[in-house]
Amino acid sequence: MAPPTQVLVCDSTACRSSGGEQLFKVLRGEIKDLGLDVRVVKTGCYGFCGLGPVAVVHPGAVLYCHVDEDGAGEIARTHLRGGRLVQRLLYRSMNGEGRRNFLHEIPFFEKQQRVVLENSGLIDPEDINEYIARDGYFALAEALRSRAGPAGVVDAVLRSGLRGRGGAGFPTGRKWSFAAAQESPEKYIICNADEGDPGAFMDRSILEGNPHAVLEGMLIAGYAVGAREGYVYVRAEYPLAVKRLEIAIRQAQKLGLLGKNILGSGFNFDVDIALGAGAFVCGEETALLRSAMGFRGEPRVRPPYPVEKGLYDKPTIINNVETLANVPVIIRCGPEWYAALGTGGSKGTKIFSLAGQIRNTGLIEVPMGISLADIVYDIGGGPPPGRRIKAVQTGGPSGGAVPAELLDVPVDYESLQAVGTIMGSGGLIVLDDTDCMVDLAKFYMQFAAHESCGACTPCRVGVVHVVDILERITRGEGTMDDLHELGELADDVREASLCGLGQTAANPVLSTMKYFWDEYLAHVKERRCAAGVCKALSH
Partner 1 sequence: MNAEERNYLVLDKIIERYGERPGGLVRVLYKAQELFGYLSPDVQTHVAEKMCLSVGHVHGVATFYAQFVTAPQGKNVVRVCMGTACYVKNAEDILDRFRELLGVETDATTADGRFTLSTTRCIGACSLAPLLTVNEKVHGHLSVEGVARLVELYREDDLDTDEEVSPVERERERERQRPASDQGAAPPPH
Run of H or E including 492: helix 480-496
Cis geometry, peptide bond prior to residue 4 (ω within 30 degrees of 0): no
Q: How many residues does the chain have?
A: 539
Identify which of residues 204 and 347 has a Cβ nearer to partner 1 in the complex: 204
Identify which of residues 198 and 476 has a Cβ nearer to partner 1 in the complex: 198
Identify which of residues 140 and 429 has a Cβ nearer to partner 1 in the complex: 429
Using alpha carbons, list the distances in angstroms from residue 532 to 349, 436, 447, 529, 538.
38, 8, 22, 5, 8
CB of 28 to partner 1, least distance (A): 17
CA distance 118 to 97: 27
| Burial readout 43-78 (b: 16 or more C-beta within 10 A, e: otherwise) | bbbbbbbbbbbbbbbbeeebbbbbbeeebbbbbbbb
CB of 52 to partner 1, least distance (A): 7
CB of 16 to partner 1, least distance (A): 8
Count of Cβ atoms closer than 10 Å to residue 96 Cβ:
6
Strand partners, 430: 356, 392
CB of 362 to partner 1, least distance (A): 6
CB of 424 to partner 1, least distance (A): 12
Identify which of residues 305 and 443 has a Cβ nearer to partner 1 in the complex: 443
Measured at the CA of 524, the angle between CA 521 and CA 526, to 5 degrees, comes to 85
Identify which of residues 293 and 418 has a Cβ nearer to partner 1 in the complex: 293
The residues binding partner 1 (CB under 8 A) are 13-14, 16-18, 22, 49-52, 65-66, 69-70, 92, 94, 195-201, 204, 236-239, 274-280, 291-297, 353, 355-357, 359, 361-362, 384, 393, 396, 427, 429, 431, 435, 440, 443-444, 447, 453
Identify which of residues 278 and 304 has a Cβ nearer to partner 1 in the complex: 278
CA distance 318 to 308: 12
Identify which of residues 276 and 348 has a Cβ nearer to partner 1 in the complex: 276
Sheet with 427-432: list strands edge to edge.
Answer: 362-367, 349-356, 427-432, 389-394, 400-403
Identify which of residues 295 and 337 has a Cβ nearer to partner 1 in the complex: 295
CB of 99 to partner 1, least distance (A): 12
CB of 251 to partner 1, least distance (A): 20
| Burial readout 351-381 (b: 16 or more C-beta within 10 A, e: otherwise) | bbbbbbbbbbbbbbbbbbbbbbbbbbbbbbb
CB of 495 to partner 1, least distance (A): 26
Measured at the CA of 449, the angle between CA 305 and CA 238, to 5 degrees, comes to 70
Run of H or E including 444: helix 437-451
Identify which of residues 155 and 237 has a Cβ nearer to partner 1 in the complex: 237
CB of 332 to partner 1, least distance (A): 28
Measured at the CA of 93, the angle between CA 17 and CA 202, to 5 degrees, comes to 40
